[in-house]
């Protein structure tokens, strides 16, 4: 271990080097034996009943169950009320049964191939599911809440999610030192050493807005528990090698010695709850079976598994020891086994009565009171998101000032604040001020707002400046957003570590804890979200379908073709659209609450706003909805300072709402039968088209319609637009390359609206392998080319669609 603190080193020495320190009462030994019985007999029961089923059992490290229970007992004794856990699939069913205490029949029925799925989503395999449970801890007689977070097969992906949820639960309880809420993360040895997200998560532990005040990491180490012969050890790095990186003590303990495990787990819990720091418990053991129960490890590790097959199970070893020293009798031991076997058999009988699987019974993060008792939204309406003008003015005034006295700001920032004050006086907003007003108004309503990401305090493009820095006093800062009203929710804005995977997972976990918060993660550039693709694919896109878990996280992804190269141009909207679950060929029925119902049915929302006002509204709508969905916002770069990209207060006042489609509002709409072409577009390219149309004097012949909400597709509003111009060419224009961007998503949906009777022509850049060029001249030439095509009214004459 690498610890520079003398007090901490002495503490550890005292715990491990004091003679005779590891002593247990007979009652503690009997409890430990009973826990081992439950751990091992649970696996034996599953193996007998479903010998050909995958279950990713715990054989070889059955001591993990009493280890976890010991950590929870000690933590409860020291004041912990809520433990949030994350783990891979090995041993998950055992943890659910014997640590979280999921009803056994609920687990057993999962093995029934005839079990019907409820209409709550697609579901997931049993060894990925989570659970939330409140109960009395028998060792301390105190109330304890346990949550095991659902996890995909990506072994360590859940780590930052658990930490984010833990941080949120601490935040909402005012538990600034982690004395009430803590996390436990379980790892396999190979994943612990080899998966980078482990270290991204560790490195969050010392950042002020990310620390959870220490996590207990338990490693199930399959390396050398049964032999010292290195030839029989697997080739992956041994976890000791990671000590330099994790900056935490690693306590190695032989998993064949249950009392030593119990003692080390007690020490680990004491360490975490005394010093508020991470600690690793390394359970050195073996895997009795292969990767899963269908795997034959002798194919590739014959010598190792010859040794493993000779190993006496830990339960027998420990029972023999306690019987020999008179702690228990053979009869008592056999009765303990018979009692648990009977419990399993009775649960198995009850499980046969289960006909339908309800995924919501496995929910890891319930929101009491937010939904109806049946889990459905309390309404299917969304109130207008505009606010009173005096509130807009007040927020604008605070955003333009420094609330603290004798606080000297940078002269460049003085100009920015002065410009904000001028905009407020003139009743207009740019993007930064619109965001300020959305956040500030939600804080007034008691909604916590959290904005996280790389350099978000200032903003990648130096437009936000939500944290002011005194130019004369080191580390003196001011967050004006927290000075809006005496009674307001807190605003958290925090620069993250240089991580996407870990930080996005963290913010997802934070958003899981409560529906009454706006949690936003901003990529430095939208292009960089792909290093967090696992979180996007496995948790955000599909989390509700798999685990009935609503989540309202907001992804802010700067996007726009500006000749800045292939890593600073595209948030890859096509990927989000491809994963959207709406059917391009299904023409929907338009009901009274179609807009909200459509949002409820989708898996996430993808928007590309062209005005600051719409950005303001979509942020506020995220909280006004009677449910929660992930929101993907393609945010601007050059539009942040574009003179045309401003909005009036009139678009943001009470009664106004988010506009899914912004139709043509110029002279073209006055004489629609003279319009020869309707160009549909989204985002920044609208301003290029607007300028070019004016230059060519085509305002009366070409209509421009903006899609602000791309997915779910606004069939109802676009139907109105298409019917308004029955004789016009229909064109989709985008600045992205043809094989990216939006065209492949919008084309079949437009065709569905017109029943395949009218073509929707493409105008934009040609297909390309890279998302953008890094050559400014090439960028401008391709822009000129597609703008010429967009306003060439004969461009598609005689062409087949």
Give the CATH number, domain containing residue 88.
3.40.50.970
Q: For 480-499, what is the mean pLDDT? A: 96
Q: Output the pLDDT for position 1.
A: 54
Question: What pLDDT is recorded for position 624?
Answer: 97
Instruction: Say yes or no: 42 and 82 in one domain.
Output: yes
From the CB of residue 776, how many other CB atoms can be counted at a distance below 10 Å? 12
pLDDT of residue 294: 81
- Tell me the whole-structure pTM to 2 decimals: 0.95
Average pLDDT on 209-215 reads 97
Confidence (pLDDT) at 223: 67
3-class DSSP assignment, residue 318: helix
Strand-strand pairing, 554-558 and 250-254: unpaired
User: Which pLDDT does position 104 carry in this prediction?
Assistant: 93
Residue range 131-151: mean pLDDT, rounded:
94
357-360: long-range pairs with CB below 8 Å, 24+: 357/109, 357/110, 357/115, 357/116, 357/117, 357/118, 357/123, 358/118, 358/120, 359/117, 359/118, 359/120, 359/121, 359/123, 359/124, 359/129, 359/547, 359/548, 360/118, 360/120, 360/548
Helices and strands (DSSP H and E) totals, the chain: 26, 25
- What is the per-residue pLDDT for 122? 78
Q: Do 349 and 494 lie in a common domain? A: no
Residue 248 placed within a domain: yes
| 427 and 488 belong to one structural domain | yes
What would the mean pLDDT of 797-801 be, rounded to a whole number? 87
**Greater pLDDT, 194 or 327:** 327
Indicate the residue among 362, 397, 425 that finishes a domain. Answer: 362
Q: Residue 544 is encoded by which pair of tokens?
A: 């509700």
Q: Please compute, for residue 42, the number of CA atoms within 13 A of its CA located in the half-sphere on the CB side.
A: 31
Helix then strand then coil, % of the chain, to nearest 5: 45, 15, 45
Least confident of 251-255, 293-297, 670-674, 704-708: 293-297
Tell whether 136 and 259 lie within a shared domain: yes
The reply to whether 710 and 772 lie within a common domain is yes
Question: Is 395 found in the same domain as 325?
Answer: no
Report the C-alpha gap between 659 and 661 in whole angstroms: 5
Exposed, middle or buried by CB within 10 Å (0-12, 13-18, 19+), for 726?
exposed
Domain boundary, last residue among 362, 397, 422? 362
Which structural domain range is residue 700 located in?
665-791
Is residue 680 helix, strand or coil?
Answer: strand
pLDDT of residue 232: 37
**Domain shared by 313 and 441, yes or no:** no
Chain-centre distance of CA 338, in angstroms? 43
Residue 554: DSSP 8-state: E
The CATH number of whichever domain residue 771 belongs to comes to 3.40.50.11610
Query: Is residue 195 domain-shared with residue 283, that is, in the same domain?
Result: yes
Residue 609 pLDDT > 70:
yes
Question: Is 569 a domain residue?
Answer: no
Q: Assign 288 to helix, strand or coil.
A: coil
Q: Do 627 and 699 reside in the same domain of the chain? A: no
Averaged pLDDT score across all residues of the chain: 93
Strand partners, 220: 188, 283
Taking the C-alpha atoms of residue 631 and residue 321, their distance in angstroms, rounded to an integer, is: 58
Q: What is the pLDDT of residue 800?
A: 86
637's tokens: 């770069």
With respect to residue 700, please indicate whether it lies within any of the assigned structural domains: yes
Query: pLDDT above 70 covers what percent of the chain?
Result: 97
Residue 796 lies in a domain: no
CA 240 to chain centre: 30
Mean pLDDT of the 408-423 span? 96
Q: Which of the residue ranges 425-429, 588-592, 669-673 has the most confident prediction, judged by mean pLDDT? A: 425-429
Can you say how many angstroms the Cα of residue 772 is from the centroid of all Cα atoms in its chain? 28
Compute the distance between CA of residue 274 and CA of residue 268 in angstroms, rounded to an integer: 10
pLDDT of residue 305: 86
Instruction: List all residues 6 or more positions away from 501 whose beta carbon is below 8 Å from its beta carbon.
Output: 160, 196, 197, 200, 531, 532, 534, 535
- Give pLDDT tens digits for 232-279: 334 344 455 566 677 789 999 999 999 999 999 999 999 999 999 999
Domain count, the chain: 3
Is there a single domain that holds both residue 622 and residue 754? no
Residue 644 falls within a domain, yes or no?
A: yes
Please report the pLDDT score of residue 229 as a whole number.
Answer: 43
What does the alpha-carbon distance between residue 678 and residue 759 come to, in Å, rounded to a whole number? 12
Q: Which of 480, 497, 486 is nearest to 403 (CA)?
A: 480
Does 692 map to a domain? yes
What's the rounded mean pLDDT across residues 277-292? 88
Task: Fill in the DSSP letter of residue 371.
Answer: S
Asked if residue 367 belongs to a domain, the reply is no
For residue 53, count other CB atoms closer than 10 A to its CB: 15
Is 236 a domain residue? yes
CATH number for 436: 3.40.50.12470
Give the pLDDT confidence of 433-448 residue by residue, as tens digits. 999 999 999 999 999 9
Strands 468-469, 477-478: pairing kind: antiparallel
Residue 790's CB: how many other CB atoms inside 10 A?
A: 26
User: Looking at the structure, do residues 233 and 342 belong to the same domain, yes or no?
Assistant: yes
Tokens of 224: 């050398």
- Once rounded to an integer, what is the mean pLDDT over residues 674-700? 97
Instruction: Find the mean pLDDT for residues 673-702.
Output: 97
User: Are 399 and 263 part of one and the same domain?
Assistant: no
Q: First CA to last CA across the chain, in angstroms?
A: 68
């Amino acid at each position: 271990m690498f610890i520079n603190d003398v007090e901490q080193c002495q503490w550890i020495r005292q715990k491990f080097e004091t003679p005779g320190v590891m002593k247990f009462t007979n009652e503690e030994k009997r409890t430990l034996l009973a826990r081992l019985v439950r751990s091992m007999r649970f696996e034996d029961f599953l193996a007998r009943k479903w010998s050909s089923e995958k279950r990713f059992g715990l054989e070889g490290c059955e001591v993990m169950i009493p280890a976890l229970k010991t950590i929870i007992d000690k933590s409860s004794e020291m004041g912990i009320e809520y433990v949030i856990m994350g783990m891979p699939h090995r041993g998950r069913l055992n943890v659910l049964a014997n640590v979280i205490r999921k009803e056994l029949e609920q687990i057993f029925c999962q093995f029934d191939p005839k079990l019907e799925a409820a209409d709550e989503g697609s579901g997931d395999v049993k060894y990925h599911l989570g659970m939330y449970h409140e109960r009395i801890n028998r060792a301390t007689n105190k109330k304890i809440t346990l949550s095991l977070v659902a996890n995909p097969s990506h072994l360590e992906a859940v780590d930052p999610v658990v930490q984010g949820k833990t941080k949120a639960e601490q935040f909402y309880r005012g538990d600034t030192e982690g004395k009430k809420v803590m996390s436990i993360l379980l790892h396999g040895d190979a994943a612990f050493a080899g998966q980078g997200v482990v270290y991204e998560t560790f490195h969050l532990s010392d950042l002020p807005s990310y620390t959870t005040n220490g996590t207990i990491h338990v490693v199930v180490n399959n390396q050398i528990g049964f032999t010292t012969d290195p030839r029989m050890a697997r080739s992956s790095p041994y976890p000791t090698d990671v000590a330099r990186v994790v900056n935490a003590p690693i306590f190695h303990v032989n998993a064949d010695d249950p009392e030593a495990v119990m003692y080390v787990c007690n020490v680990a819990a004491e360490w975490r709850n005394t010093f508020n720091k991470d600690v690793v418990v390394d359970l050195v053991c073996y895997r009795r079976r292969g990767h899963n129960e269908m795997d034959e490890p002798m194919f590739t590790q014959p010598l190792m598994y010859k040794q493993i097959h000779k190993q006496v199970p830990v339960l027998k070893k420990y029972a023999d020891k306690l019987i020999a020293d008179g702690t228990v009798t053979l009869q008592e031991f056999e009765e303990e086994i018979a009692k648990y076997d009977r419990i399993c058999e009775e649960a198995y009988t009850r499980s046969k009565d289960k006909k339908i699987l309800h995924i919501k019974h496995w929910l890891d993060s319930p929101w009491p009171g937010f939904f109806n008792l049946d889990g459905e939204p309390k309404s299917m309406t969304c109130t207008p998101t505009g606010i009173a003008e005096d509130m807009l003015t007040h927020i604008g005034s605070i955003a333009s000032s420094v609330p603290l006295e004798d606080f000297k700001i940078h002269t460049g920032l003085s100009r920015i604040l002065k410009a904000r004050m001028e905009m407020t006086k003139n009743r207009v907003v740019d993007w930064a001020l619109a965001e300020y007003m959305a956040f500030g108004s939600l804080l007034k309503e008691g909604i916590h707002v959290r904005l996280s990401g790389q350099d978000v305090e200032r903003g990648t493009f130096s437009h936000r400046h939500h944290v002011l820095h005194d130019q004369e006093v080191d580390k003196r800062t001011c967050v004006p957003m927290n000075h809006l009203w005496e009674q307001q929710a807190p605003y958290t804005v925090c620069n993250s570590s240089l991580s996407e995977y870990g930080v996005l997972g963290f913010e997802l976990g934070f958003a899981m804890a409560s529906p009454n918060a706006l949690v936003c993660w901003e990529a430095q550039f939208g292009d960089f979200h792909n290093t967090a693709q696992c979180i996007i694919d496995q948790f955000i896109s599909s989390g509700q379908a798999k685990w009935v878990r609503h989540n309202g996280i907001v992804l802010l992804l700067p996007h726009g073709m500006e000749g800045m190269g292939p890593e600073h141009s595209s948030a890859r909207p096509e990927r989000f659209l491809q994963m959207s679950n709406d059917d391009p060929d299904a023409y929907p029925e338009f009901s009274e609450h179609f807009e909200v119902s459509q949002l409820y049915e989708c898996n996430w929302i993808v928007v590309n706003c062209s005005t600051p006002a719409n950005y303001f509204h979509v942020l506020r709508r995220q909280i006004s909805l009677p449910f929660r969905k992930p929101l993907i916002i393609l945010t601007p770069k050059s539009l942040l300072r574009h003179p045309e990209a401003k909005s009036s207060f009139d678009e943001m006042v009470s009664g106004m709402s988010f506009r899914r489609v912004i139709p043509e509002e110029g002279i073209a709409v006055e004489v629609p039968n003279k319009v020869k072409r309707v160009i549909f577009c989204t985002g920044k390219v609208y301003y290029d088209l607007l300028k070019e149309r004016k230059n060519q004097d085509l305002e009366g012949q070409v209509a421009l319609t903006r899609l602000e909400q791309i997915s779910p597709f606004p069939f109802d509003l676009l139907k109105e637009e298409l019917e308004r111009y029955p004789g016009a060419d229909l064109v989709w224009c985008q600045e992205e390359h043809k094989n990216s961007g939006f065209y492949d998503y919008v084309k079949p949906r437009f065709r569905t609206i017109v029943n395949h009777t009218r073509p929707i022509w493409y105008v934009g850049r040609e297909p390309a392998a890279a998302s953008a060029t890094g050559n400014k001249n090439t960028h401008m030439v391709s822009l000129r080319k597609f703008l010429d095509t967009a306003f060439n009214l004969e461009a598609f004459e005689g062409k087949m669609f």
